[in-house]
Chains A and B, each alone.
Chain A
Amino acid sequence: MQEQFHSSRLAGRVKRFAYKAIMRERDMKIRKMLLASAAIACAAMPISAFADTSTKKIALSNNYAGNSWRQAMLTSWEKVTGEAVKAGVVASADAFTTAENQATEQAAQIQNMILQGYDAIVLNAASPTALNGAVKEACDAGITVVSFDGIVTEPCAWRIAVDFKEMGRSQIEYLSNKLPDGGNLLEIRGLAGVFVDDEISAGIHEGVKQFPQFKIAGSVHGDWAQDVAQKAVAGILPSLPEIAGVVTQGGDGYGAAQAIAATDRKMPIIVMGNREDELKWWKEQKDAKGYETMSVSIAPGVSTLAFWVAQQILDGKEVKKDLVVPFLRIDQDNLETNLANTQSGGVANVEYTQEDAVKVIESAK
């Protein structure tokens, strides 16, 4: 017994050591890749932005860090801005998170950032309106404020918003390519009463109007959770005709697939939402019988896009106040790479580069 215990501990230690070595190697690779991409970015833009913002300080004001999406967002920020600081693009890029997720607390945090002399504040706001006073104060002090995800309505700030409507509409557009004859759709909605749910659903219905060969035969609330979605879909299935496609909001595709697999129905095209379990299921189906679908959601790395946009504004670029985040869309051909990059139980992520930001800025003009 004792010996067994020792040997298992030893094995654990060996494993840990090997794991560390692998991680170190991976880190090196990533670093090399990032340096290379930075070099490409340099070469691509002859009027380099590097010299002009090298003395600038950028701060991230974040209201909440309590879920995996926010954690991934902060990790992406740390990684990308860390490299940018090392490369001398900006002088510093510090992240601050408020402890209580309260608007008045974040307003105080922003005012402190003004005092600390930051040149730009990248903001994920606790409230779209309650920070406006502090944001105005920052603008008046000559500070660039870029809000993303949780955006603010103050006109002097930049907004990198998520076009949830388009996210819903694009699903129907994809289905219209795959199923030119149309058919019945099952809609899985999110948490009732939340703004995001209304927006995505409105986009889906807009898409159905645009492609009238589709008809929404039923809709259930999956609350963006696989188990809730599975129960809800299993409940509505017996009352539905044949389903050609399932449109979703993310976090519910796997549950829907499980519910449908339990019946003798043909598997419809289920649009996924970039969660790891969804991608894994899709990969299994793809390998087994060539199942085809797509997956769409917002990458937590959008914080890094906001960082680069702030850097571009500091560099003197003309940038429109309202920008739109590109979705992270996964298709049949890039499924494997995205799945490999997604942590177990996490969300597919992408970190943006300066080039991506320039593209987003250009496309808004």
Chain B
Amino acid sequence: MTFRLSSDAVRLAIPALSLTLLLSAVFWLQPRAMSYIGLNLLFNLAVPIALATIAQMLVMAVNDLDLSMGAFVSFVACVTATFLRDAPAIGILILAGAVAAYAALGVVIHLRNLPSIVVTLGMSFVWGGVAVLLLPAPGGQAPDWVRWLMTVKPPLAPMAIVASIIIAVIAHFIVKRSSLGVLIRGVGGNQRSVERAGWSIVAARATAYALAGLFAVLAGIALVGLTTSADANIALRYTLLSIAGVILGGGEFIGGRVSPIGAVIGALTLTLAGSFLSFLRISPDWQIGAQGAILIIVLALRLMLNRLEKREKRR
């Protein structure tokens, strides 16, 4: 074989393929979706999910798992719909504080050698509680600029597609092209060797968490831009969706093997899977199961490909 794909490209091939397959199935079922407005309707709710998935991916890059993602995005949504509109300065301060809290979490988890699952699970109750305190009853209103940003109609491609591409490109540059990204993935891959090379692991982990916090904040803001107002429980499903998105997009739980472009594609695929099942008129009792089945099929495909990849290497 003269033509060889890099292993990263192979990893991306499966999610891209499944997205294409699902998309053509949806177009076949519902030709109306094949338009500017149709694509936007299909994918606009995937934008906050994609941002949350990138956030989760950054945490997973350092071998941790964030179980507070959904609660945190809900909290950010509540801040966006209240403070960020009525008192932007205080709102920005609160959100900056939240990002700092994420960085602090990274430090605590590293220094005390705590399991991230336990710490973030605990934090999910903190974020949830603060969200309820901020917005005891559903309400609030999205700031006008956020609303404008999420409903803008760019030429050529709808907002949802443009936003997804921008998110994927920016995340790709941070994680794959910058030295910071290499460091973060290095912590996940082989912490000891990174340490021996003279890098501060604490700083790397804190940065990864802070970046995750930043992307999660963006997810919350984007979500409120779409829904126009908030609810303390608005994004609880994002915790599992974001993890599934990372895995679906070719990431791994350990080893610092993550793919930002894959993660965005994974988020889009998950959103599309829901629409696909709805267009198929599958009864809600079966929908969760069917969604799981799609996940399992994609993962099985990837496992097969991984095996092929290994066999190639052995030769």
Residues on A lying within 8 angstroms of B by beta carbon are: 65, 94, 96-100, 102-105, 107-109, 111-112, 114-117, 127-134, 136-137, 141, 153-154, 195
Whether B227 pairs with A134 at a CB distance below 8 angstroms is yes
- What's the least CB distance linking A130 to chain B, in Å? 4
- Residues of B close to A153: CB separation below 8 A: 139, 229
B274 in the interface (beta carbon within 8 A): yes
State the interface size on chain B (CB cutoff 8 A).
40
**B278–A109 CB distance below 8 A:** yes
A38 to chain B, nearest CB (A): 27
Residues in B whose Cβ lies below 8 Å from that of A133: 150, 225-228
B199 vs chain A, min Cβ distance (A): 38
Query: A136 to chain B: which residues have CB within 8 Å?
Result: 228
Nearest Cβ on chain A to B151's Cβ, whole angstroms: 9
CB of B75, distance to nearest CB on chain A (Å): 14
Q: How far is the CA of A195 from the CA of B275 in the complex (A)?
A: 33
Q: Lowest 9 CB-CB distances: which A-B pairs, in order?
A: A129-B229, A97-B284, A129-B138, A130-B231, A133-B227, A132-B228, A127-B231, A111-B41, A99-B287
The CA of A1 and the CA of B11, in the complex, are separated in Å by 65
Q: How far is the CB of B126 from chain A (nearest CB, A)?
A: 20
Q: Among B41, B238, B287, point to the contact of A114 (Cβ < 8 A).
A: B41
Report yes or no: B279 in contact with A107, Cβ–Cβ below 8 A: no
Residues of B within 8 A of A129 (CB): 138-140, 227-231
Contact B138 A98 (CB under 8 A): no
Which chain B residue has the least Cβ–Cβ distance from A109? Answer: B278
List, in ascending order, chain B residues with CB within 8 A of A154's CB. 228
| Contact with B32, one of A98, A102, A117, A130 (Cβ below 8 angstroms) | A117
Report the Cα distance A105→B230, complex, angstroms: 14
Give bound CA distance, A195 to B279, whole Å. Answer: 35
Q: Does B130 contact A (CB under 8 A)?
A: no
Taking the nearest CB of chain B, how far is it from the CB of A106, in angstroms?
10
Whether A112 contacts B227 by the Cβ 8 Å rule is no
Q: B87 on the interface (CB 8 Å rule)?
A: no
With contacts A111-B44, A115-B33, A133-B227 known, is A104 near B234, CB below 8 A? Answer: yes
Q: Which residues of A contact B103 (CB under 8 A)?
A: none
Chain B residues with Cβ below 8 Å from A134 are: 226-227
A132's partner among B227, B279, B281, B288 (CB-CB below 8 A) is B227
Closest B residue to A62 by beta carbon equals B284
Q: Out of A65, A97, A107, A127, name the residue touching B45 (CB < 8 Å).
A: A107
- Our pick among A94, A102, A114, A130 for the contact of B138 (Cβ within 8 Å) is A130
Q: Check A195–B33 contact: CB distance below 8 A.
A: no
Q: Which one of A104, A108, A115, A195 contacts B30 once the chains associate, using CB atoms below 8 Å? A: A115
- Known A94-B281, A131-B227, A133-B228: A111·B42 in contact at CB below 8 Å: yes
Identity of the chain A residue whose Cβ is nearest the Cβ of B81 in the assembled complex:
A129
Residues of A within 8 Å of B223, CB to CB, are 104
Q: Is B177's beta carbon under 8 Å from chain A? A: no
A115-B38, A136-B228 as given contacts; A108 in contact with B237, CB under 8 Å: no
Contacts of B30 in A (CB 8 A): 115-116
Contacts of A111 in B (CB 8 A): 41-42, 44-45
214-248 of chain B: CB within 8 A of chain A: 223, 225-231, 233-238
Residue of A nearest to B33 (CB): A115
Instruction: Tell me if B137 is interfacial: C-beta within 8 Å of chain A.
Output: yes
Residues of A within 8 A of B56 (CB): none
Chain A nearest CB, measured from B195 CB (Å): 40
CB neighbours (8 Å) of A131 from chain B are 227
Q: Quick one: which of B239-259 are within 8 Å of A by CB? A: none
8 A-B pairs with C-beta separation under 8 A:
A104-B238, A105-B274, A108-B271, A112-B274, A115-B41, A116-B32, A129-B140, A131-B227
Give chain A residues whose Cβ lies under 8 Å from the Cβ of B279: 112, 115-116
* CB atoms of B234 and A115 under 8 A apart: no
The answer for the CA separation of A111 and B124 in the assembled complex, in Å, is 29
Q: Are B138 and A128 in contact (CB under 8 A)?
A: yes
A107 CA / B291 CA spacing, docked (Å): 17
Are the C-beta atoms of A104 and B237 separated by less than 8 Å? Answer: yes
**Other CB < 8 Å A-B pairs besides A129-B140, A130-B234, A132-B229, 19 of them?**
A94-B281, A96-B278, A100-B288, A104-B223, A105-B237, A108-B45, A108-B274, A109-B274, A109-B278, A111-B45, A112-B42, A117-B32, A129-B230, A130-B138, A133-B227, A134-B226, A137-B41, A141-B37, A195-B137
